[in-house]
Structure 1
């Protein structure tokens, strides 16, 4: 059980860090890569929120 929750935590931290890095470096990213990186970050952040909700629901 601990290993599963630590994997979730690592993914959640990485997803939010990727979103933060993309927001802070939006002017230095080439235009051709912006859309793909933004979509990837959005998908990862949505998955991270889903994992947070799932972990709260599965505590009981």
Structure 2
């Protein structure tokens, strides 16, 4: 459970950092970073929803 919480925090933090620093990222890396951040945030959201349902809420 602790590793899940750490992953969720890191995924959302990465998404925020990429959104806030989108002008400083080189154009070649911008699309790759955005795709990785979207995938990580989507997985974190799915794991968060799954953990709520598996706890019996």
TM-score by length of 1: 0.90
Runs of 4+ in 1 over 4 A off after TM superposition: none
> What are the within-5 Å matches in structure 2 for residues 1-60 of structure 1?
5-60=1-56
Q: C-alpha deviations, 1:38-59, integer Å up to 9, x for none?
A: 0000000000001101100100
Unaligned runs of 5+ in 2: none
Separation in 1, partners of 2:4, 2:14? 15
Aligned pair count reads: 56
CA distance in 2, matches of 1:20, 1:37: 12
Deviation at residue 35 of structure 1 after TM alignment: 0.3
